[in-house]
Amino acid sequence: MKRLFCILLLAASACRNEQPSTATQAPPQQQAATSAAQRDPHSYSNPDQVRVEHIALDLGVDFAKKQLSGTATLRIRNEANANTLVLDTNGLTIRRVTIGNAPVQHRLGAADPIFGSRLEIPIRPDTQSVTIDYATSPEARALQWLEPSMTAGKKHPFLLSQSQAILARTWVPCQDTPGVRFTYDATIRVPRTLLAVMSAENPQARNEEGVYQFRMPQPVPSYLLALAVGDLEFRPFDTRTGVYAEPEVIERAAFEFADTPKMMQAAERLYGPYRWGRYDLLVLPPSFPYGGMENPRLTFLTPTVLAGDRSLVALIAHELAHSWSGNLVTNATWSDFWLNEGFTTYFEHRITEALYGREYSEMLWLLDVREAQDEIEALPPGDEHLYVNLAGRDPDEAPSIVYEKGALFLRLLEETAGRERWDQFLRAYFEKFAFQPMTTPIFVNHLKTALPDVVQKVNIDQWIHGPGLPPNAPKPQSEAFARVEQQAKTFAAGGSAAAIEGERWSSHERVHFIQSLPALPPARMAELDARFRFSESGNSEVLSAWLEKSIDARYKEAYPAIERFLTSQGRRKFLRPIYEKLVKNPEDLAFARRVYARARNTYHPVSQATIDSILK
Ligand code: BES
Ligand code: ZN
């Protein structure tokens, strides 16, 4: 019987299409709890037959060539006696594949611009490991090679990686699906003046040789593979947390993120022990395309949250929360992305509440609700569901409504179950499914079993497979924000800027004020700018909200600030809405093209791809 099953699986794999996107093949064998998981439509690999369990990397970092080059040795478990190991690659030059010391004949499939090429390696039932000798392309989409001029210190180059969602395959040949986990180790050779760090046990200082050894003992999915190389210094917060940054930035970073140990305590109190050893932060140069990336043991961060007043540290709460939701219990495919990001956004708000109080966290909830409403208006039908079938699409362009809608759904479950019972449920959930992939149906079934009365009351289906925000969506409350809205209304109705009581507004109140304004005539924008100096704000959230409003108002005095903002940082969340607004008007479009011609080279490939498609 088992034999017959294997033959069927092999037959299914033989008739598999070239594109992972169009695959409708046999389901993969997931680890224990998720045997019903669907095949990942974004991976060519065949983990249902043979699984990668460990990767040993030995790579040289060549800044002149913009290339990583060396070997990846994959230890495999061939349970189905498969005769082929299929891996994901994208833009890799495969020089040689060996098993034992013997070369084997590999096959590299046709290249798809998003999914890359399948790499087929012939194996035997008893094959335990394969070694791939390879090099990356200078265009590898996960990697950004920074000139010294793009760093804070201006003296040394910098390399940073971003593997989520399916970019790990542009620098490591692997089963590039969140449904497969492996441990890893690495030897990384870098110029002597630089330090290398990874999502693994990390060095805290440079060594003479420029050769760094890494070990990652907990199994992780490929999207959490990460590497950065630069002129980095380390500063501890306490015995298990600290921050890496360039020497020019380390002081500001250590001040800004000083609450990290408290966040860790709050998170553990909520949902159980932190399972990853150390938790460190890495502040990157401003071209990093995201706010943060939850690389295990080492969260990667944009420097645009260094506001000087700790006002944007919810980002740390978010990335830390992923150490449970995402890194421990992992979305099985990118269509289940809400299980990572919705859970994490909810958890982020709970940490924020624990540290800074309910009044404060309600403001952040409300900013999210506004964001959700704006997003829903702009999304095509189907894309506002929590579960979104992303087969055939680039998961990096997945709608981000799942962050806020997912968080609101969990808040509804909390309010329906009662906080104590709900927290118990979550703690048990993270414990039970730790280090496993999670699908939407498995989560729903688990919820139905654990909290049947709650499930009956909330209309789960409408949340997961229905449009917009359902009518039972929780409604966060903030008196502070109500006052801000009142001030915005009065000003919009002709009130004077001087009469606004905004001296002591937090940055969140400022953002909310700006977002509560209707499109105003430029002269009225100028009055606000004279009063609050928004165009010069050092807070990136305030500045981006204001610059967006300025484009709506065609408030020309802010355009030099827009140009500065677009050419001094590459965070996609800030770039995208500004470029999207600029292309709507011919005069602004010319401005956008001129600025982008100057800025494009400084953006990470992830941001380049997004802005290219806006300006195409
Ligand atoms: N994991 C995400 C970043 C990500 C998502 C990278 C999808 C690639 C594909 C990270 O945790 C995140 O959500 N970052 C947000 C932070 C915010 C919501 C606090 C960001 O970068 O803006
Ligand atoms: Zn996240």
For residue 221, the model assigns a pLDDT of 98
CA separation for the pair 144, 490 (Å, rounded): 47
- pLDDT at residue 421 is higher than 90: yes
> Tens digits of per-residue pLDDT, 440-470?
999 999 999 999 999 999 999 999 999 999 9
Q: Which amino acid is at 161?
A: S
CA angle 236, 239, 242 (to 5 degrees): 30
Residue from 293, 324, 604 to probe ligand 1 pocket by mutation (most atoms less than 8 Å from CB): 293
Flag the least confident range among 33-37, 391-395, 402-406, 530-534: 33-37
> Tens digits of per-residue pLDDT, 26-42?
333 333 333 334 689 99
Say if residues 38 and 25 touch (Cβ distance below 8 Å): no
The arrangement of secondary structure in 42-226, i.e. its CATH architecture, is Sandwich (2.60)
CA separation for the pair 168, 418 (Å, rounded): 40
Task: Look at domain 333-465 and name its CATH class.
Answer: mainly alpha
Flag the least confident range among 9-18, 106-115, 240-249: 9-18
- pLDDT at residue 471 is higher than 60: yes
Which residue carries 């001094």 as its tokens? 568
What are the residue ranges spanned by the domains of the chain? Answer: 42-226, 232-323, 333-465, 483-614
Which of helix, strand or coil describes residue 479?
helix
275: exposed, middle or buried (Cβ count in 10 Å: 0-12, 13-18, 19+): middle
Instruction: Give the atom of ligand 1 at the shortest distance from the alpha carbon of 164.
Output: 8
Give the fold, CATH level 3, of 483-614.
Answer: 1.25.40
CA separation for the pair 143, 405 (Å, rounded): 31
pLDDT average, residue stretch 517-527:
97
Residue 403 annotated in active site: yes
Contacts of 187 (CB under 8 A, 6+ apart): 57, 58, 59, 211, 212, 213, 214
- pLDDT at residue 59 is higher than 90: yes
Residue 275 tokens read as: 């399972």
For residue 473, the model assigns a pLDDT of 98
Say if residues 553 and 585 touch (Cβ distance below 8 Å): no
pLDDT band with cut points at 50, 70 and 90 for residue 13? very low
- pLDDT at residue 71 is higher than 80: yes
Q: What is the mean pLDDT of the chain?
A: 94
Exactly one of 319, 375, 384, 541 is catalytic; which is it?
319
CA separation for the pair 12, 82 (Å, rounded): 12
Residue from 341, 350, 571 to probe ligand 1 pocket by mutation (most atoms less than 8 Å from CB): 341
pLDDT average, residue stretch 392-421:
97
Say if residues 224 and 327 touch (Cβ distance below 8 Å): yes
Residue 428: which of 522, 324, 540 has the closest Cα? Answer: 324
Residues in the chain: 616
Q: Which ligand is nearest to the CA of 290?
A: 1
- Beta strand 51-62 pairing with 182-189: parallel
pLDDT average, residue stretch 325-350:
98
227: which strand partners? 198
Task: Look at domain 232-323 and name its CATH class.
Answer: alpha beta
- Beta strand 241-245 pairing with 233-236: antiparallel
Q: What does the CA dihedral 563, 569, 575, 581 come to, rounded to 10 degrees?
A: -10
> Tens digits of per-residue pLDDT, 175-231?
999 999 999 999 999 999 999 999 999 999 999 999 999 999 999 999 999 999 999
* Percent of all residues in the chain with a pLDDT value above 90, rounded to a whole number: 94
* Beta carbon of 120 within 6 Å of any ligand 1 atom: no
Say if residues 120 and 97 touch (Cβ distance below 8 Å): no
For residue 19, the model assigns a pLDDT of 54
CA separation for the pair 179, 256 (Å, rounded): 35
For residue 596, the model assigns a pLDDT of 98
**Count of H-run helices and E-run strands, the chain:** 19, 21
Helices 507-516, 479-492: axis angle to 10 degrees equals: 40
Would you say the C-alpha torsion 330, 331, 332, 334 has a positive or negative sign? Answer: negative
| Stated pTM of the model | 0.95
Residue 319 annotated in active site: yes
> Tens digits of per-residue pLDDT, 294-327?
999 999 999 999 999 999 999 999 999 999 999 9
Which of helix, strand or coil describes residue 183?
strand
**Which residues have CB less than 5 Å away from ligand 2 (the ion)?**
341, 344
For residue 319, the model assigns a pLDDT of 99
Q: Which amino acid is at 98?
A: T
For residue 38, the model assigns a pLDDT of 63
CA separation for the pair 502, 286 (Å, rounded): 30
The DSSP code for 32 is: G
For residue 331, the model assigns a pLDDT of 98
Q: How far is the CA of 39 from the centre of ligand 2 (A)?
A: 23
Q: Which amino acid is at 456?
A: Q
> Tens digits of per-residue pLDDT, 273-288?
999 999 999 999 999 9
Determine how many CB atoms are found less than 10 A away from the CB of residue 1: 5
The DSSP code for 258 is: T
* Beta carbon of 292 within 6 Å of any ligand 1 atom: yes
Would you say the C-alpha torsion 23, 24, 26, 30 has a positive or negative sign? Answer: positive
Instruction: Give the atom of ligand 1 at the shortest distance from the alpha carbon of 318.
Output: 19
For residue 32, the model assigns a pLDDT of 36
Strands of 190-297, DSSP E: 195-198, 211-220, 227-230, 233-236, 241-245, 279-283, 292-293
